[in-house]
Structure 1
Amino acid sequence: MKQQIKRVLQQINDQSGIQEIKSVSGGDINEAFYVKTEEQTYFMKGNQNVPSHFFKAEASGLEAIRHTQTVSVPEVYYYDEPDENEIGMMALEWIEASSTYDSSEKLGEKLALMHKQTADHYGFGEPTFVGELDQPNEWKDSWVEYYRDNRLHHQYLIGKENGRINGKRQKRMETLLTHLDKFVPAEPSASLLHGDLWGGNYLTSKEGEPFLIDPSIVYGDPQFEIAFTELFGGFAPSFYSSYQQVSPLYSEYKEVKPLYQLFYLLVHLNIFGEMYGSSVDRILKKYIGN
């Protein structure tokens, strides 16, 4: 991988000389590195088993967030669009994370401001990824249509193919998809969403500033984003209180929250397996019954 790092440095015209390269935590999908040159430091990641638009999708998402001038994101210096079996690389600004500061309150406020950036349709106009799974993201006029076809039905098809959605689970999913308009608002705000916002996808800088990383960008119902933040333990109470001071949750949020969490549980079912099956079944029973 060192040769690939050298290649990227050449691409971004940093010929100052490498001082340090070390492996760092970068998720389950990519190899990740801290790279220090005489000129500056970088976060680089690489992968040989991703589609050509994998890093481009991340770069587009980070740029969309940066354009809002709300929540900070690391700068993107370079990304590959690799051919099949070719190693692809991405180079970003290195953010020195701090455990001294709690930026939850600031993140809630800035995320609410980000959610005020809206589009006329739902989607993003280019495909993205959720984890390692592709995420079709074409524009739709209706949120129900987008959430049904691009999110729940897409994961349903993956689950059928890998054998994790069958029997009663399959029948309940099919019934839910048919009647989704009874449970999901048709035309909520088409807000800019990070799309994969859990505790591992934001960090706090040494200056106490929250940074978002690894987006799966979509314009959609902002409550969809908040529902995911509550799925695996939730964020600090100050995050939610500061968010609602800027952008209050609508009154039906508690009713639709499990249905929005269902998408992410289906993703985890399809990636990690049956350990998430009971949670999927519980939500399907809530809305469809036995």
Structure 2
Amino acid sequence: MEQLIKEKLAAIGDSSTVNTIRQVGGGDINQAYYVRTQEREYFIKGNNNIPPHFFRVEAKGLRSIKETNTVAVPEVLDYDEPEKGKTGLLVMDWIAGNPSRKTTEQLGRKVAAMHQHQNSQHGFSEDTFIGTLPQPNGLYDNWLTYYREQRLEPQFHTAVSQGNMPETRRKRMAILLDRLDNLIPASVSASLLHGDLWGGNWLPGPDGEPFLIDPSVLYGDRLFELAFTEVFGGFPDDFYKAYQESSPLPDYYPDVKPLYQLYYLLVHLNMFGEAYGSSVDRVLSEYVG
């Protein structure tokens, strides 16, 4: 990997001496490295078991967020689209800093501002990934159809194929999908969403400025994003207070929050197994009984 990294840096114009190549955290899916040359510091991901567009859509997502001029993201310097079995690299700026007392408040305001950037349709122009799982996309005229056909149903089918849907859970999930028209709104604004916004996908940069990383971008209901931030924590009260001050949440948010969290719980069920089964069942019981 070290030789590949040195060759990649030379290819993008940094032929200076490489002083440090150190494997770092954040590599649950990819190998992750801190690299320092005489010219600058880099964060580099590597993987030899990915589809060709894996790093390309991540780079496109980061670029989509950057173009809103709201919340900061690392600059993407280069990426590979590797052939099957070949190692690909994604090269970005290294981001490091310490949070200030205002960092999470700034994050709340900046995410709210990002959500004000909207599209005429829901979804995304390319298929993406959520963790290691393929995430189909497409552009839809209403949120309800997109959420059912491109979010819940693919994870449902994956769970069935992997044996993660015992009979009672499968029947409840099918009923929920049939009832979805009466449970979530079809006509909501298509906001730009990070798409995988949990506590591990933001970090403080220089002067405590918040940065978003590892997106799985789409246009959709902003409540979908907010619901996921509450699944695993990592977002303190001042994040939500700042978000609310910038962009108040509708009164029906508590009614749809578990339905939006269900998608991410299904993803974790399919990635990590039955440890997430009880959480899926709890949501299904709430809406189906």
Cα RMSD after superposing both structures: 1.0
Is residue 2:8 matched to residue 1:32?
A: no
**1:80-130 CA distance string (max 9 Å, x none):** 001100001010000013255551100000100000000000001101110
Aligned length: 289
Q: 1:44 aligns to what?
A: 44
- What corresponds to 2:120 in structure 1? 120
Q: Does structure 1 conserve the Cα–Cα contact (< 8 Å) formed by 2:129 and 2:135?
A: yes
1:231 aligns with 2:231: yes
> What SS class does the counterpart of residue 232 from structure 1 fall into?
coil
Alpha-carbon distance in 2 for matches of 1:191, 1:130: 18
Aligned equivalent of 1:251: 251
Write out aligned runs for 1:203-214 (5 A): 203-214=203-214
Letter in 1 for 2:8: V
Counterpart of 1:181 in structure 2 is 181
State the AA in 2 paired with 1:194: H
The within-5 A match list for 1:79-158 is: 79-99=79-99, 103-158=103-158
Contact 2:109 2:242 in 1 (8 A): yes
Deviation string, structure 1 residues 118-147 (Cα, Å, up to 9, x no partner): 000000110111001011111011111100
SS in 1 for 2:137: coil
User: Are the counterparts in 2 of residues 26 and 45 from structure 1 also a CA contact under 8 Å?
Assistant: no
Could you tell me the percent identity over the aligned residues?
A: 54
1:172 aligned partner: 172
Matched with 1:282 is 282
Rounded to whole Å, the distance in 2 between the matches of 1:144 and 1:200 is 28
- Kept in 2, the 8 Å contact 1:190–1:220? The answer is yes
Q: Name the SS of the counterpart of 2:134 in structure 1.
A: strand
What is the alpha-carbon distance in structure 2 between the residues aligned to residue 102 and residue 278 of structure 1? 36
Which residue of structure 1 aligns with residue 19 of structure 2?
19
Does residue 1:59 correspond to 2:82, yes or no? Answer: no
Looking at structure 1, the residues matched to 233 and 101 of structure 2 have their Cα atoms a distance apart, in angstroms, of: 20
Output the CA distance in 2 between the equivalents of 1:38 and 1:131.
Answer: 33
Question: Residue 4 in 1 paired to residue 17 in 2?
Answer: no
The answer for unaligned runs of 5 or more in structure 1 is none
Q: TM-score, normalised by structure 1?
A: 0.98
Structure 2, unpaired ranges of 5+: none
